[in-house]
Structure 1
Amino acid sequence: MIISIMAGGPECFWPDLTWYKEKTDLWVGVDRGVWSLLEKGIEPKYGFGDFDSVSEDEYEKIEQVLEEINLYSSEKDETDLEIAFNWAMGQKPSEIHILGATGGRMDHFLGNIQLLQKESVLPHHGDMDIYIVDRQNIITVKTAGSYKVTALKDKKYLSLLPVNAEVTGITLSGFKYPLDDASLEMGSTLCISNELISESGNVSFEKGILMVIRSSD
């Protein structure tokens, strides 16, 4: 099952929704993200949030369409997106795609990125693909292991950023800038803007956590 979550970020940062309309099994809207989906002709099944960013008329229409609305106070210990993401994790899908989570406020953006790095989420990166996607980027997190990487026509760059203090045993094959048993410390830009030189390549590392970003100009 593929779950797509639409948060309330600016539409100018969204990816093309065509693929998501075709492949998504379950749509979830977060706060104004619910209304944004309805405006695009997509009816989410579930909604989460305090809905303080929609008008009364918009909320009435949301109530008429959604199967379930999970309404929360604006004063709480998690963001609306974190609540929706935790729920989606509990459904045990094969993939979660988070849209509308970039752009706008930097504190929200960084907080959204860190959802992928939570201690409770890290063990699931092996059996579940979790992505934050916008017009230029696909962001995910990987724990130690070996991964095949396939070329993407519209995302030629691949960057690796350490999530913890140091990632060790990094080997890259099939890339413009290969590595063999390298280490990557927090703050290093060694693995920014690499490129595949064939249809696929391989990324492996022995210890640590990496953020993987596929991007375009």
Structure 2
Amino acid sequence: MNINIMGGGPPALIPSLESYRSPEDKWIGVDRGTAVLLERGINPYAAFGDFDSVTEEELAFIKTSIHNLRKVKPEKDETDMELALEWAVQQNPRMIRLFGATGGRIDHFLANLQLMQRYNEKQYAPELKMIDIRNTVYIKSAGTYQVKKDENKYISFLPGTSDVSGLTLKGFKYPLENRHIPKGSTLCISNELVGDYGTFSFSEGILIIIRSDD
């Protein structure tokens, strides 16, 4: 089972959802993202938020459409996305995808990125991806990984919360061998695969991988 979470980011940045609509997967709405799912013909399994970004009419429709509604007070320590993500991780899915989590307010995007980093550090964490119409973002701990060519031409590698040690890129236009990448480095922005597959590996740290089509 995968869990797809729809946040309240700009609808123009949300990709087509048809390829993610598998019968065994669950959809979760976060605040206004709940209304976005209903507008696209997807009835969420659950919804989280204070719903301060929807109209009274939209909230009434949400209440009649969703049985598992977790409405919380606006005054709280967690963001609505954090509440949904915490619940999703506890369901032990194979993967969690975040939609409507980029664009709009920069503070929300950065908070979502930090949440992904935090959950990536947990043992047995599911794979986490943040997806919009032009980008896919995911995070990896030290190890060796294969990447496959897809519609997203560019691949960028950014250090997460610390330096990255021993980064090696093979099958890329700009290869690296056992390179130390300090936090804040932009060395690995906009790389490209030269064939159908490539590999990246590193020995220490956390990498933020961004695949973009522009």
TM range (shorter): over 0.9
Please, what TM-score do these two structures have when normalized by structure 2? Answer: 0.96
Q: Tell me: CA distance 1:121–1:170, structure 2 relative to 1, closer, same or farther (3 Å).
A: closer
8 Å Cα contact 1:9-1:101 kept in structure 2: yes
> Which residue does 2:144 correspond to in 1?
146
User: Which residue of the partner structure matches residue 172 of structure 1?
Assistant: 169
Cα distance in 2 for residues equivalent to 1:78 and 1:20: 27
Which consecutive unaligned segments of at least 5 residues does structure 2 have? Answer: none
- 1:62 offset after TM fit, Å? 1.0
The CA distance in 2 between the partners of 1:188 and 1:60, in whole Å, is 48
CA contact (8 A) 2:89 2:125 kept: no
Q: Deviations over 1:67-114 (max 9, x none)?
A: 200011001001100110111011110010000011111111111111
CA distance in 2, matches of 1:47, 1:165: 34
1:1-217 aligned at under 5 Å gives the runs 1-22=1-22, 25-118=25-118, 120-124=119-123, 128-152=126-150, 154-217=151-214
- Taking the aligned partners of 2:153 and 2:69, their CA distance within structure 1 comes to 39
Counterpart AA for 1:73 = K
How far residue 24 of structure 1 moved from its aligned partner, in angstroms, is: 6.4
Q: Please say which of residues 60-69 and 80-89 is displaced more in the overlay.
A: 60-69
Q: Counterpart of 2:122 in 1: which secondary structure?
A: helix
Instruction: Supply the RMSD in Å over aligned alpha carbons.
Output: 1.4
Q: Are the equivalent residues in 2 in contact too, given 1:156–1:214 (CA < 8 A)?
A: yes
Alignment length (residue pairs) = 214
Contact in 2 for aligned 1:4/1:27 (Cα 8 Å):
yes
Asked if 2 retains the 8 angstrom alpha-carbon contact of 1:131 and 1:139, the reply is yes
Point out where structure 1 has 5 or more consecutive residues left out of the alignment: none
Distance 1:138 1:76, change over 3 A: same
Runs of 4+ in structure 1 off by over 4 angstroms are none
Secondary structure in 2 aligned to 1:52?
coil
| Matched letter for residue 65 of structure 2 | V
CA contact (8 A) 1:3 1:24 kept: no
SS at match of 1:35: helix
- SS of the equivalent of 2:207 reads strand
Q: Contact 1:2–1:23 at 8 Å: present in 2 too?
A: no
- Tell whether the 8 Å contact from 1:166 to 1:208 is kept in structure 2 after alignment: yes
CA distance, structure 2, for counterparts of residue 147 and residue 29 of structure 1: 31
Give the SS at the match of 2:188.
coil
* SS of residue matched to 2:42: coil
1:121-179 per-position Cα deviation (integer Å, ceiling 9, x unaligned): 4134x652100111111001100000011111x20111000013310111111111111
Distance 1:215 1:24, change over 3 A: farther
CA distance in 1, matches of 2:173, 2:120: 31
**2:203 partner letter:** E
